């Protein structure tokens, strides 16, 4: 009976992952290049426009507003469990934290005394451990002080350590729902790596979790079922075992995504000049 129940539960779970009813809606547009979307529990979406060095704030039903300018050509954004905003500032070559009153502090800008290349994307675990990527794309490579691309970890006490020095450029970064697996997209290799994390945020067991991605992967997110959503030429969704479940095609190339709305069942997609959204029948996984 237990085995039958487990099979039925699995079947029900898979049935709930129905992509056939997905409808793509344009949420906002007219930007130079959208990136780094993140939903606030206060009811609005933030996203970056790196070429314009702006972070925008959009509350559904209201006009977009500039949240921060200049932003250090911000790219990836995320929140922590206390509502603080974390941002990768590619031009400023630093990772910052902004409290709810708007005060900005630098969390990290150097490794071994050398400035970062161009911090790109970031995620914060529920217990305050921070993970971010530091590649260099295009003109970001000018004046580099580090001779490698890195994936980094910052403890709640502010201690910085290097997780990996991949051969290709690390890009999007995300956590499994339980916070015990770290996923990192590698744009040059067109794969997503996975690392096991312990309670102190230490990473081990590097492996390729997803391979053969159509296009260089950029931002990634994980839903409550452990599926990995990858922005590349399109928006493929993979099972926790790395099996392709579905590919969502958009009119513009997606660059990053976030789960949002009060139930976190809406996917916000930053794609070139616009942000799109789709409703799904299950929640995204958020650490805040």
Residue 205: CB atoms within 10 A of its CB come to: 9
Q: What is the pLDDT of residue 20?
A: 82
pLDDT 10s digits, 177-225:
999 999 999 999 999 999 999 999 999 999 999 999 999 999 999 999 9
Q: Model pTM greater than 0.75?
A: yes
Q: What residue ranges in 130-283 does DSSP mark as E strands? A: 130-134, 150-154, 160-164, 170-175, 181-186, 191-197, 203-210, 220-222, 228-230, 235-238, 244-248, 256-260, 266-271, 274-279
10-19, 127-136, 227-236, 243-252 — which is least confidently predicted? 10-19
CA atoms within 13 A on the CB side of 20: 3
Q: What is the pLDDT of residue 196?
A: 98
pLDDT 10s digits, 96-123:
999 999 999 999 999 999 999 999 999 9
Q: What is the CA radius of gyration of the chain?
A: 18
Domains of the chain, CATH where assigned: 23-279 (2.120.10.30)
Q: What is the pLDDT of residue 34?
A: 98
pLDDT 10s digits, 55-98:
999 999 999 999 999 999 999 999 999 999 999 999 999 999 99
Kindly state the average pLDDT of the residues 139-155: 96
Of 213, 221, 237, the closest CA to residue 22 belongs to: 237
CA distances from 40 to 31, 101, 172, 258 (A): 21, 14, 19, 10
Sign of CA dihedral 153, 155, 160, 161: negative
Backbone angles phi, psi at 152, to 5 degrees: -125, 165
4-8, 132-136, 191-195, 275-279 — which is least confidently predicted? 4-8
Give the 3-state secondary structure of residue 201. Answer: coil
Q: Does pLDDT of 44 surpass 50?
A: yes
Concatenating the DSSP letter of every residue in 239-251 gives -TTS-EEEEE--S
């Amino acid at each position: 009976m237990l085995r039958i129940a487990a099979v039925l539960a699995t079947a029900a779970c898979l049935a709930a992952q129905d992509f056939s009813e997905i409808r793509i809606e344009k949420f906002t547009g007219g930007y130079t290049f959208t990136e780094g979307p993140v939903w606030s529990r206060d009811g609005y979406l933030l996203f970056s426009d790196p070429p314009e060095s702006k972070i925008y704030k959009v509350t559904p039903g209201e006009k977009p507003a500039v949240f921060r300018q200049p932003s250090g050509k911000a790219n990836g954004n995320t929140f922590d469990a206390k509502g603080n905003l974390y941002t990768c500032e590619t031009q400023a070559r630093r990772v910052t934290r902004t409290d709810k009153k708007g005060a900005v502090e630098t969390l990290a800008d150097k490794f071994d005394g050398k400035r970062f290349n161009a911090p790109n994307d970031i995620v914060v675990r529920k217990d305050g451990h921070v993970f971010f990527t530091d590649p260099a794309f295009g003109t970001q490579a000018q004046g580099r002080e580090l001779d490698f691309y890195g994936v980094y970890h910052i403890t709640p006490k502010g201690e910085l350590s290097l997780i990996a020095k991949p051969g290709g450029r690390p890009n999007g970064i995300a956590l499994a729902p339980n916070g015990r697996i770290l996923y990192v997209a590698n744009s040059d290799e067109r794969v997503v790596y996975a690392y096991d994390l312990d309670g102190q945020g230490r990473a081990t067991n590097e492996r390729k979790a997803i391979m053969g991605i159509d296009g260089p992967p950029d931002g990634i997110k994980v839903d409550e079922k452990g599926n990995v959503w990858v922005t590349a030429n399109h928006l493929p969704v993979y099972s926790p075992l790395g099996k392709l479940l579905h590919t969502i095609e958009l009119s513009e190339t997606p660059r990053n995504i976030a789960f949002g709305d009060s139930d976190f069942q809406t996917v916000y997609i930053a794609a070139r000049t616009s942000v799109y959204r789709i409703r799904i029948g299950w929640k995204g996984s958020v650490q805040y």
